[in-house]
Structure 1
Amino acid sequence: MKKRWMVVLLPLVLAACSQGEKEIEGVKSFENKGEHQEGQLKYAQTPPTGGTHNPAWQNCGVYDRALYNEYAVHSLEHGAVWITYQSSLAGDQVAQLKQLADGRTHTLVSPHESQQSPVVVTAWNKQLALNDASDPRIKTFLAKYEQGGDAPEIGASCSGAYNGTV
């Protein structure tokens, strides 16, 4: 009798667990695969959400100038979240974004010249475009995707490599 209950309850328990984790409203998903390649590369998304990238990763941290996509994508592969903003974003909003990176080991913050939305948060194969730096979904995105999600090399370093800017 116990074995029968176990078989009946297990699918119910698994279904209840899978319903507990909700998607963040507005997050888009992609299916990029990545490999290492030097040089300037083209990406399907802006900012890129994954794909072929430079063998060196971008050191995580806050930057006042744009980053090379090829290095930042490698950081995404390591489980980083890249917070980007249009250079015209108000200074107080830029300060809010920079503050979000405080104490985080796998977060990049930088301007990105060609994005369409004022603020974009990106992880490996996930992206959320926003109009305002105070949108609470940014913190939720960071909590879910920094060192999480589908990044192929979660736990790999996000320091000790490349720290240049465009």
Structure 2
Amino acid sequence: MNYRSLGLGALLFLSACSSQNIQGVQTFSFAAGDHRPGQLVYAQEPPVGGPHNPSWQNCGVYQAPLYNEYAVHSLEHGAVWITYGSQVAAADVTVLEGLARGRTHVLVSPTAQPSPDIVLSAWGKQLKVDGVQDDRIGAFLKTYEQGPTTPERGAPCTGGSSGTT
């Protein structure tokens, strides 16, 4: 089924119906609250947790890659970070950007990677999808935005950094 023709609302509704046990989600374990200045090295790309800058990334849509250290702090606050490679079609990027509308804890940004990948990350959780038609995207957002893995649920996703690399 082509979800693009159904519209964004239908995509979110259909995919939210199966938010339990989302196939393909990888799980990682990190301690929260480890604030460190400077550039940090992460095992995952994009990172899904671990040490991070004391300031967080303001949630929203960005046209350039983000500093991992700020975005990880937003994950600690319950954000879902949607990243996409430079080979993702412009129409698909528009759909991804639309996913942030009306949501308080979603980041959307490109990566510096020349890939066709779309990756959704939350604190300790990550899902790679092949395109915006994947019905797991809405389920991931519904489950992990301010979800059960959030170390600092209710913390803001505004009032931080809006910088890009």
> Which TM class, normalised by the smaller chain length?
0.7 to 0.9
SS in 1 for 2:78: coil
Greater radius of gyration (CA): 1
| CA shift in 2, pair 1:115/1:57, >3 Å | farther
**Which runs of 5 or more structure 1 residues have no equivalent in the other structure?**
1-19
Shift in Å at residue 125 of structure 1? 0.2
SS in 2 for 1:74: helix
Tell me, yes or no, if structure 1 residue 158 matches structure 2 residue 157: yes
Q: Conserved in 2, the CA contact under 8 Å of 1:96 and 1:134?
A: no
List per-residue Cα deviations over 1:66-110 (Å, max 9, x = no partner): 000000000000000000000221000000100111100000000
Higher RCO (C-alpha under 8 Å, 6+ residues apart): 2
Residues of 1 paired with 2:114 and 2:126: CA distance?
Answer: 12
Residues of 1 paired with 2:123 and 2:115: CA distance?
Answer: 19
**Which runs of 5 or more structure 2 residues have no equivalent in the other structure?**
1-17
Shift in Å at residue 121 of structure 1? 0.3
Counterparts of residues 80-159 of structure 1 (less than 5 Å) = 80-114=79-113, 118-159=117-158
Q: Conserved in 1, the CA contact under 8 Å of 2:88 and 2:116?
A: no
Residues of 1 paired with 2:57 and 2:114: CA distance?
Answer: 19
List per-residue Cα deviations over 1:117-155 (Å, max 9, x = no partner): 510000000000011022111111000000112111011
Counterparts of residues 24-63 of structure 1 (less than 5 Å) = 24-34=22-32, 35-63=34-62
Compute the TM-score of the two structures, normalised by the length of structure 2: 0.85
Residues of 2 paired with 1:112 and 1:33: CA distance?
Answer: 25
Residues of 2 paired with 1:148 and 1:105: CA distance?
Answer: 13
For the aligned residues, what is the CA RMSD? 1.5
| CA shift in 2, pair 1:124/1:45, >3 Å | same
Q: Which runs of 4+ in 1 moved over 6 A?
A: none
Shift in Å at residue 115 of structure 1? 7.9
Which residue in the other structure is 1:11 paired with?
none
Give the length in aligned residue pairs.
147
Q: Conserved in 2, the CA contact under 8 Å of 1:53 and 1:71?
A: yes
Shift in Å at residue 21 of structure 1? 7.0
Q: Conserved in 2, the CA contact under 8 Å of 1:46 and 1:115?
A: no
Shift in Å at residue 114 of structure 1? 3.4
Calculate percent identity across the aligned residue pairs.
55
Residues of 1 paired with 2:157 and 2:94: CA distance?
Answer: 22
| CA shift in 2, pair 1:117/1:128, >3 Å | farther
